[in-house]
Amino acid sequence: TSRAPKKQILKSSNDNYCNSSDSDLELSTVRHQPEGLEQLQAQTKFTKKELQSLYRGFKNECPSGLVDEETFKTIYSQFFPQGDATTYAHFLFNAFDLDRNGSIRFEDFVIGLSVLLRGSVTEKLNWAFNLYDINKDGYITKEEMLLIMKSIYDMMGRYTYPSVRDEAPSEHVEKFFQKMDRNRDGVVTIEEFIETCQKDEEVTRHTWDQ
């Protein structure tokens, strides 16, 4: 898709006070302005009002227009006070950050949301697959799934009932692969994934009626 050039105002980074107490403080911001409303409307399934509202919230929290990974992790961790959500937030961040440049812009954010909220079943499954596929090579391996699983269990924290055993994530991964990996080749491809999920009653029952 052709995008209008983004306006980016980049200045030198903030100098640490300790390093240069005497020299001028480098006052700087990295800023990002999003594309116009019309373009975003075309790219997503949100209405103008919805985009406006989303942007207002986004801008309020991130005046610079970009969310970096640390901020994202901090924010996401606040929802899971008992556990450690940083690893999972990392994977989530990569799933949102489409062009892998280390920060989420408003466009990335809104496009991701559009898929998750308004996309078709296939699109949403695609998104989930993209989340699990850590290295984005088109295959979910057991190791990738194990990492994801561990990060999810990490969010539970220590005080759970029953307490999380160390093997719980790997058992979970085994079950997942048993179900998803049709040809038993050790990896789950996007087709296997979508096919299996679509056959799953739970998935289809409530996603057919859109």
Partner 1 sequence: MAAGVATWLPFARAAAVGWLPLAKKIMPKPPVDKKSRNDEILFVNVSGLRFQTWKNTLDRYPDTLLGSSEKEFFYNEDTQEYFFDRDPEMFRHILNFYRTGKLHYPRQECIQAFDEELAFYGIVPDIIGDCCMEEYRDRKKENQERLAEDTEAENATDTPLPPHSTSRERLWRAFENPHTSTMALVFYYVTGFFIAVSVIANVVETVPCRPPKGSKKDLPCGEKYTLAFFCMDTACVLIFTFEYLMRLFAAPSRCKFMRSVMSVIDVVAIMPYYIGLVMPENEDVSGAFVTLRVFRVFRIFKFSRHSQGLRILGYTLKSCASELGFLLFSLTMAIIIFATVMFYAEKGTKGTNFTSIPASFWYTIVTMTTLGYGDMVPNTIAGKIFGSICSLSGVLVIALPVPVIVSNFSRIYHQNQRADKMRAQQKVRLARIRLAKKGTTNAFLHYKEEGGFQDRDSDNALCLKNRSSFEHQHHHLLHCLEKTTNHEFTDELTFSEMCMTESVGYRTSRSTSISSQQGVSTSCCPRRGKRRAIRLANSTVSVSRGSIQELDTLQVHKTSAGPQSRSSLNARTEDLKLNCEDRDFTAAIISIPTPPANTPDESLPPSPAIPGILRNSRSTFFTHETVKISSL
Among positions 42-101, residues that touch partner 1 (CB under 8 A) are 46-47, 49-64, 67, 71-72, 75-82, 88, 92, 95-96
Among positions 180-209, residues that touch partner 1 (CB under 8 A) are 180, 196-197, 200, 202-203, 205-207, 209
Nearer to partner 1 (CB atom), residue 17 or residue 167: 17
Report d(CA 75, CA 95) in Å as an integer.
16
Considering only 2, 18, 100, 184, the residue that binds partner 1 (CB under 8 A) is 18
Nearer to partner 1 (CB atom), residue 137 or residue 150: 150
Structure tokens at 23: 């020299």
Q: C-beta of 209: minimal distance to partner 1 in Å?
A: 8
Residue 19 binds to partner 1 (criterion: CB under 8 A): no
Q: Measure the CA angle with vertex 100, ends 124 and 150; round to 5°.
A: 65
Q: 30 near 8, Cβ under 8 Å? A: yes
Q: DSSP readout, 96-141?
A: H-TT-SSEEEHHHHHHHHHHHHHS-HHHHHHHHHHHH-TT-SSEEE
Considering only 41, 90, 146, 164, the residue that binds partner 1 (CB under 8 A) is 164
Among positions 105-134, residues that touch partner 1 (CB under 8 A) are 109, 112-113, 116-118, 121, 124-125, 128, 131
Report d(CA 42, CA 51) in Å as an integer.
11
